[in-house]
Amino acid sequence: MVAWNVKGCIIPIITPFDDRGEIDEPALRKLVNYLIEEQAADGIIPCGTTGESPTLSHEEHHRVIEIVHDEVAGRVPVIAGTGSNCTREAIEMTQAAEKVGVAASLQVGPYYNRPSQEGLYQHFKAIAESTSLPLILYNIPARTGRNIEPETVIRLAEIDNIVGIKEASGNILSAGTIIKGTREKGLDFHVYSGEDAVTFMILCLGGSGCIAAVGHVLGKEFSQMCRLVWEGKVEEAREIHYRVLPLVEALFCEPNPTAIKQALKWMGQPAGTLRLPLTQLSPNGMQILRTAMVRLGKAAEADCV
């Protein structure tokens, strides 16, 4: 098995766009440092869904990975989002990211195609065989239209360089089944919560942390929650879970990363614009987010305009 022991709060970084809709490189570099220095990121993922990867050209996709890898400068692992619903394309993007020098790759389940479980297995197997990078699977059936079933994940975990999964189905039983099944086989496989509202529960089942969009705003809290569970201080971790939950829910009141970008602006960080088909937060969404941020002390009322 390929060695991999990254645990904690891994943050899928947004992609800031300027007023012309182009990648804002200075803003992206500033955000990298903000996530590491102020939000205690244990890893950073460029070009995930939170980074609006479906709107990036191949050239932009590769450039974002290069910028993030360069600015991180080895301080935390960089895990490049290089998945696709085209196996050949995923292989090409993964190999390009490997040449940049990233630590690992995040591979989303093929979307739209709705492949069988055998198709999913063969897709990820082909990518794994094309690279020496550790691969983290990404299960988010609400977006892809197909669940990667626990049995398929456990089977994939036997491939040397498939080292973990971002489990964003929201199904706690599935997460537990994967953790139990891989441990019974003696596999060092990491389950990361990809549904931020259930991170505490997955940690208690034996999860390795989270890949959390809310880490842009709540990275320190989620990192601390992880460590408290691992230290056996479950009551303290539970307190954090319930305290931040209203803001977690508010940050997903509209399609991600709409609210994340608005929250960053209110916190004085560069977030830039959104690319269509995403549009800015609605007035109702603004109110929901504003209320949650002010109550948790993440922004002053006067800043939320």
Alpha carbons 280 and 262: distance in angstroms, whole number: 8
* Cβ neighbours of residue 135 closer than 8 Å, sequence gap 6 or more: 94, 104, 105, 106, 107, 124, 127, 128, 161, 162, 163
- For 58: left if phi > 0, alpha if psi spans -120 to 50, otherwise beta; the answer is alpha
Average pLDDT along the chain: 96
How do residues 222-277 score in pLDDT, each as one tens digit?
999 999 999 999 999 999 999 999 999 999 999 999 999 999 999 999 999 999 99
Counting residues of the chain whose pLDDT is more than 70, the rounded percentage is: 99
Each residue of 84-138: pLDDT tens digit?
999 999 999 999 999 999 999 999 999 999 999 999 999 999 999 999 999 999 9
What's the average model confidence in pLDDT over 271-293?
95
The pLDDT tens digits for 49-97 are 999 999 999 999 999 999 999 999 999 999 999 999 999 999 999 999 9
Catalytic residues: 138, 166
Question: All domains of the chain, ordered by start, with CATH?
Answer: 8-242 (3.20.20.70)
Please tell me the distance from the alpha carbon of residue 225 to that of residue 234, in angstroms, as a whole number: 9
pLDDT at 299: 80
With a CB cutoff of 8 Å and minimum separation 6, the contacts of 73 are none
Q: Which of 6, 13, 5, 4 is nearest to 219 (CA)?
A: 13
The answer to whether residue 303 scores a pLDDT higher than 90 is no
